[in-house]
Structure 1
Amino acid sequence: MRWTVSDIALSPDQRYLAYSSLSPIVHIVNVQNAGRESDANVTEIHEGLEFCDDDEYSFGIFSVKFSKDGREVVVGNNDCSIHVYDLGANKVSDRIRAHTSDVNTVTFADESGNLLYSGSDDNLCKVWDRRCLVREKPAGVLTGHLDGITCIDSRGDGRYLISNCKDQTIKLWDVRKMSATVKGRQPRLYDWDYRWMTFPSHARYYKHPNDLSLATYRGHSVLRTLIRCYFSPMHSTGQRYIYTGSSDDSVHIYDVKLSWHGSIIRDCTWHPYCSTLVSSSWDGYLARWEASGDNEDPSVLTCDEQRTSPYDQTYGLSFAL
């Protein structure tokens, strides 16, 4: 590993866990071998997938995702490119010079595995069709953000996706509205660094002149780290909600805010079948949230840590720690 674990992904069959760092290697481990302990060079259970053939050339990986069938892994890196790894053939099958800056996030669009979505510090979301990668030209470009993209999540239907951004917004996109090329120069916000500066308040409602998004969501904050966002699960919510971590120490579900943590929430995940959400924070805690379904019962608001009540609600949902 190098410096930090930058991303993790669980295979669709929940058998394998892949994790990346700021190196050209993705490690993959069979999590069903729960009884084994890893002792390097003796009982090593972490297999390294090499994404770089040149020993003298290196890059860091920011994003790793499994395909829907679990046969491939795609990564985005600080070499402005996307790499797809074929697990059966044990080799990189596609290399795409995708953006002009770091690729912070990448994911498969649907079950076919042919379409990829990527987001970069060049402010752009791009759609890639692996069946026709002519001169590394994207199938389409989605403009509208004013700063670097931190996360993309696909609805899984090959049409809709959401993106989180350092411009403090989440945007909803329909790929049927994408453009073939980038129109005009990409506008940028003031010279600021999201890793240590506060967002300029007067820039919060700036609008891209060629915004192609369907909707924009504001209220959370994206500072200091690549904060994630997701569609809520199909089974329990019909993907009705969008949820995200935030640097204001809260989980935001549009339109719900869950407050309990004491520091930045980088990531959160919603159970695919149950009304349960887990959030991870820089405060060192994992918090589990449950939809109580009972707005009158005060017992659902109890918390062992006795922090601020995490209760909030909208559309008939209430959450308790």
Structure 2
Amino acid sequence: MIHLLDCSDTHEYDRWKVYKQVEGSFSGWSIIDVALSNDLKWVCYSGWCNDVALVNIYGDHELHEAHEILAGRGRCCIFGVEFDPLSERLTCASSNGELTIYNIERKQRECSWPNAHGDDVNQSTWLNEHIIVSGSDDGLIKVWDKRIDKHRACVGGFIGHYQGITCVSSCENKYILSNSKDQSMKLWDMRLINSVAECDGIAGELQNLTSQHDYRYRQWRRSAQHNNQKLRLDRSLQTYTGSHQVSTTLIRSDFSLLPPPHTSLFTAAPPTAACASMKL
């Protein structure tokens, strides 16, 4: 069940009203991810299948429409879904290591990268209408430009996490926030991106670490050689630890909403980050 909450009273969270309830039609035993369109007209969700569903937010009649994203891909599912800034496309992160851009109006895949990552892609996010950022269980964050030929669309990434990436989110077209099974969040600056060659070069080293850990059964603990030591080529601005754990369930992270631009806080206060648990 998906609940859309009216959060207009920001100071009385215990009084938030449920504006609408949506019952998942094909989610299996769990809804995996939910996204709200930027034009506030649609909610999209994914479950344990090759489809996503679009549901209208307003109107007397509910339109509940399935869109097959991974047709012909066998048994896999979509772990992360997000609308583009214009609410015309979806980026879909898949359990088979694939990253897909889906055109909602045309009801077809606009482009896809079948081997985007070496493991499950847990989430992807739009930096703007052309640039997508993805995070995977292979421990890498990758940056994609959909305007470039699909074989060269990966333009770089970020290196620094020791374990799989559970979440990526963006802010102001410049900053990326990631959360990882290594029990840390990291803040990144797009102007300090690692090259494709650097990401490819460290993939094997990360695979040795990620293949030895399953977050569902035990918490990852840093070895002595990892304590107080940054991973080679780590260009993150900040690393946040100690306030949350990725254990048994995955954790989503995101930036808080910035104040409107006409307020003085817009230039004085940096964006902040928050975490929430999501059962997978």
Which of the residues 213, 219, 243 maps onto 1:192?
213
Match of 2:13 in 1: none
What's 2:68 paired with? 50
Q: Give the Cα–Cα distance (whole angstroms) in 1 for the partners of residues 86 and 153 of structure 2.
A: 25
Corresponding residue for residue 250 of structure 1: none
Matching residue's letter, 1:147? Q
Distance 1:52 1:31 in 2: 25
Mapped partners of 1:138, 1:191: distance in 2: 27
CA distance in 1, matches of 2:152, 2:45: 26
SS of the equivalent of 1:235 reads: coil
Distance 1:216 1:138 in 2: 25
State the match for 1:244 in structure 2: 274
Match of 2:144 in 1: 128
User: Structure 1: 5+ residue runs without aligned partners?
Assistant: 38-44, 246-264, 268-280, 283-321
Q: In the TM superposition, what are the counterparts of 1:106-125 in structure 2 within 5 Å?
A: 106-110=124-128, 113-125=129-141
Distance in 1 between residues matched to 2:154 and 2:171, nearest whole Å: 20
Q: Deviations over 1:34-65 (max 9, x none)?
A: x446xxxxxxx3100111332x7231110000
CA deviation string 1:146-187 (max 9, x = no partner):
000001010141x21110000011111112221222234434
| Residue identity matched to 1:200 | R
Counterpart residue identity of residue 13, structure 1 = D
- Answering whether residue 120 of structure 2 is matched by residue 102 of structure 1, we say yes
Deviations 1:112-161 (A, max 9, x none): x110000000000000001113415511121111000001010141x211
Give the SS at the match of 2:212: coil
1:224 aligns with 2:235: no
> Which aligned pairs between 1:156-175 and structure 2 lie closer than 5 A?
156-157=172-173, 159-175=174-190
How far did residue 192 of structure 1 move?
A: 2.8
- Report the equivalent of 1:85: 102
Q: Distance in 2 between matches of 1:109 and 1:212?
A: 19
Counterpart secondary structure, 1:144: coil
Q: What is the CA–CA distance in structure 2 between the aligned matches of 1:92 and 1:190, rounded to whole Å?
A: 31
Letter in 2 for 1:169: S
How far the C-alpha of 1:191 sits from its partner, in A, is 2.6
SS at match of 1:135: helix
Choose 1 or 2 for highest CA Rg.
1
Aligned to 2:124, the other structure's residue is in SS state strand
Instruction: Tell me, in whole angstroms, the C-alpha distance in 2 between the residues paired with 1:64 and 1:222.
Output: 20
Q: 1:201 to 1:209 in 2, by over 3 A?
A: closer
- Return the structure number with greater relative CO, CA threshold 8 A, min gap 6: 2
Alignment of 1:51-70 (within 5 A): 51-54=69-72, 57-70=74-87
Amino acid at match of 1:58: R
Q: How far apart are residue 198 of structure 1 and its match?
A: 2.6
TM-score between both structures, scaled by the size of structure 1: 0.68
Give the SS at the match of 1:217. Answer: strand
Are 1:31 and 2:31 an aligned pair? no
- Please, which runs of 5 or more residues in structure 2 have no aligned partner? 1-26
Deviations 1:64-114 (A, max 9, x none): 00011101111101110111111121211011131010000101102xx11
Q: Output one character per residue of 1:245-303: Cα deviation in whole Å (capped at 9) or x when no partner.
A: 3xxxxxxxxxxxxxxxxxxx516xxxxxxxxxxxxx99xxxxxxxxxxxxxxxxxxxxx
What is the distance in 2 between the residues matched to 1:36 and 1:96? 36
Displacement, 1:214? Answer: 1.5
Change (3 A) 1:89 1:36: closer
Structure-to-structure mapping, 1:243-282, within 5 angstroms? 243-245=273-275, 265-266=276-277
Cα displacement (A) at 1:231: 1.2
The amino acid across from 1:144 in the alignment is: G
- Aligned residues with identical type, % of pairs: 31
8 Å CA contact retained: 2:166, 2:180: yes
**1:4 corresponds to:** 30
Q: Classify the secondary structure of the residue corresponding to 2:147.
A: helix
Cα shift at 1:204: 5.8
Contact map agreement 1:60 1:78 (CA 8 A) in 2: yes
Go from structure 1 to structure 2 and tell me whether the alpha carbon gap of 1:46 and 1:172 turns closer, same or farther (over 3 Å shift): same
Paired letter, 2:71: D
